[in-house]
Homo-oligomer: A and B are copies of this chain.
């Protein structure tokens, strides 16, 4: 499949956008006219830049408000078109996008529109260019692609064809199946956009909220399957108007875009295979090594200049020292199947730096991730060490792809050597890592969700919003179906994000008996995150709880939730640097994360941070 992208998707100057598209691996770009108008480069310079970058210039867009007008206006529009065709010749662009008239049309007559398009085709033929007519979802008389196609058919001109845009078709609820009725040679161009389901007016929705395929609610694999069946084999291009992408560094956005288009090819191929069996079509679709969802967490890594700030908390939680790494400044702490590596190299303030996930085939998973434009983590290994596969998540977290073992042990753990006799025989209360909570930069949220879906087959649960004293926190859980891996991706309010340590991340451990675990931790001197007495009064009003149980919760700063499936008990430690820990007990089939208690946690952390700041100020 020939991949293309409109320059309007990205931030920066036209030249910066083109460089980012080439670096991300696109075959071509659409030149968005306003990007050219404000560029100091001549058309010839842009053409030369594209050539040197190996990019084709696939489309000049948009040309607006042409057809359905009176004679005088048509003459002016032909003058405009001639100027743009001359410009296209200088740029070396063969196809122009013509949007259905949304502003100046006064004649609602397909025959008139077709005649005017035919005249435009004659003019275009003189310049050796083609015009792709597209039905805007808010076009005045033409807002349905089948209607646009009827006009193109009526025009019967070799230089006049169709542009299909998934947003304009799917946002209006038109049946994309009708695409299959269009002859491939009349489809001059295809633009793809996804979008979340919103009840906004379609123009605002289109101009601000489009996202890359796979980041919204449209069935784009289904759309693509219809397109492929026509025999179309031209460029498939992304045209995404998105307020966030417009202000995010263009290199990352271009990579996100290319990842979405690569994943879409896999999904389209799967759809075609399911529906059409072994049928073959002209368009070739990129294939990826398959990946199964990860079975669990192999480890989580915290970077800390002073490892003892973190290891103290872990020891108080019942973790045992599992040894030092042979060659790296790292130590391992374990309890049950929970493994935390404290990496003494790097960060001043403690923070989560890496996750290890158990996968069936680490090499295939890494290869898939790299084909999805994910950067590999460079890593030096000694001759006798495990070669671990690792890639960067969009927020910079290193994701290690570890080999799952039948007994849940970690193959890499042998690289850590403990002093003999440091272990105890007591049955551990903590059994493993339940979930990890990572804060995300607001600009990279959609990218992060798609990254975990595409590279690791995690699924997005429903998003939640949690009030904090500094604003709403948006939380999105990504999880494996079986629940072995659960990541909570949080966007902190802007005011918080900019403060160092303003929104800490955390690792939550699963345990079998929270009250016992909390008592032991208290006995070892753990600093719990304090929970206000008012919380327990409210709890008593909301749930009928045994007085002794309620008293134990309050004594130990434990939080409680209950739903139709079961109960959830949990507590938080104090924060060190940018990280804290949580211990959770799931009773019955409770499958949530104690969301009703999150505001208590955030408020207590806010007050604790204010206290810290006050102490620092004083």
Binding site for B on A (CB under 8 A): 11-13, 16, 33-34, 36-40, 42-43, 76, 79-80, 83-84, 87, 199-201, 243, 246-248, 443, 467, 469-472, 493-496, 530, 532-535, 537-538, 540-542, 544, 599-600, 602-604, 606-607, 610
Contact = CB atoms under 8 A, between A and B. Distances in A.
Given A83-B541, A87-B537, A469-B13, A39 B603 contact: yes
A84 B541 contact: yes
Given A247-B496, A494-B494, A534 B36 contact: yes
Contact of A243 (B43, B471, B603): B471
A604 B40 CA distance: 8
Contacts of A43: 534
A311 to B, nearest CB: 29
A445 to B, nearest CB: 14
A251 B495 CA distance: 15
A40 B606 CA distance: 12
Question: Which of A443, A470, A540 counts the most chain B CB atoms within 10 A?
Answer: A470
A444 to B, nearest CB: 13
A40 B529 CA distance: 12
B534 A38 contact: yes
A90 B534 CA distance: 12
Contact of A246 (B37, B471, B532, B541): B471
A63 to B, nearest CB: 10
Contacts of A541: 79-80, 83-84
Contacts of A13: 469, 603, 606-607, 610
B599 A34 contact: yes
A540 to B, nearest CB: 7
B540 A83 contact: yes
A11 B469 contact: yes
A140 B317 CA distance: 46
| Interface of chain A, main secondary structure | helix
A38 B201 contact: no
A341 B582 CA distance: 59
B534 A39 contact: yes
A99 B530 CA distance: 31
A538 B246 CA distance: 23
A357 B19 CA distance: 48
A214 B602 CA distance: 32
A128 B478 CA distance: 49
A380 to B, nearest CB: 31
A48 to B, nearest CB: 15
A495 B606 contact: no
B604 A38 contact: yes
B39 A532 contact: yes
Contacts of A544: 76, 79
A210 to B, nearest CB: 13
In the A-B complex, the 7 residue pairs with the smallest Cβ-Cβ separation, listed nearest first, are A247-B471, A38-B603, A83-B541, A247-B493, A247-B495, A246-B471, A40-B532
A542 B471 CA distance: 46
B248 A495 contact: yes
A470 B79 contact: no
A38 B470 contact: no
Contact of A38 (B40, B495, B600): B600
Contacts of A606: 13
A603 to B, nearest CB: 3
A207 to B, nearest CB: 8
Contacts of A83: 537, 540-541
B246 A34 contact: no
Contact of A40 (B42, B248, B607): B607
Contacts of A538: 33, 37
12 contacts: A11-B471, A13-B469, A13-B603, A13-B610, A16-B469, A38-B532, A38-B602, A40-B530, A84-B541, A247-B493, A247-B494, A494-B494
A613 to B, nearest CB: 13
Given A34-B599, A603-B38, A12 B469 contact: yes
Nearest to A207: B465
A599 B43 CA distance: 19
A76 B542 CA distance: 9
Nearest to A540: B83
Nearest to A249: B495
Contacts of A243: 471-472
A534 B43 CA distance: 8
Contact of A493 (B84, B246, B602, B607): B246
A569 B602 CA distance: 54
Nearest to A600: B38
Contact of A11 (B200, B470, B532, B540): B470
Contacts of A600: 37-38
Nearest to A471: B247
Contacts of A246: 467, 470-472, 493
Nearest to A542: B80
Contacts of A534: 36-40, 42-43
Given A38-B604, A42-B533, 14 more contacts: A11-B469, A11-B471, A34-B599, A39-B534, A40-B604, A76-B544, A199-B200, A199-B201, A200-B200, A246-B470, A247-B471, A247-B494, A247-B496, A443-B495
Nearest to A492: B247
Contacts of A76: 544
A492 to B, nearest CB: 9
A40 B530 CA distance: 9
Nearest to A495: B247
Contacts of A469: 11-13, 16, 38
